[in-house]
Structure 1
Amino acid sequence: MTVEQAVSYFGSKTKLANFLGLNKSSITHWGNTVPSSRAYQLQVLTNGELKVVETQPKKLAPKD
């Protein structure tokens, strides 16, 4: 998910940061994309209203 989507959902970077128990500056350091761990957290806490978007293929476990 993009930071823009998350900020839009909460109304401001400050409200998003407060919801996650972070400083507003932490949100700014994310750049354009919400880190995957925070994106999954937001997906759960918003009951799926915000969704994680997989941008990289999942690595498969090596076969024996």
Structure 2
Amino acid sequence: MEKRPKYIDVTALASLLGLPKKWLLREAKAGRLPYIHAGRRLLFNPDTVEKALRLRTPIDDQEKV
């Protein structure tokens, strides 16, 4: 089992999830994605973000994937 870093920056998160960096930042600033501040940087826990995204997705859409 591959161990992921506990916190990563938005560029790494965008690459990991295949989502636009700009969208992730907008969602985080709007309070829809969890993050922490480290100085001026936003850091994300990939597992927590994936869970938050799954909770936002309707169950019907998850079954089609």
TM-score between the two structures when normalised by the length of structure 1: 0.35
Q: Which has the higher strand share?
A: 2
Which entry has the higher C-alpha Rg, 1 or 2? 1
TM-score between the two structures when normalised by the length of structure 2: 0.34
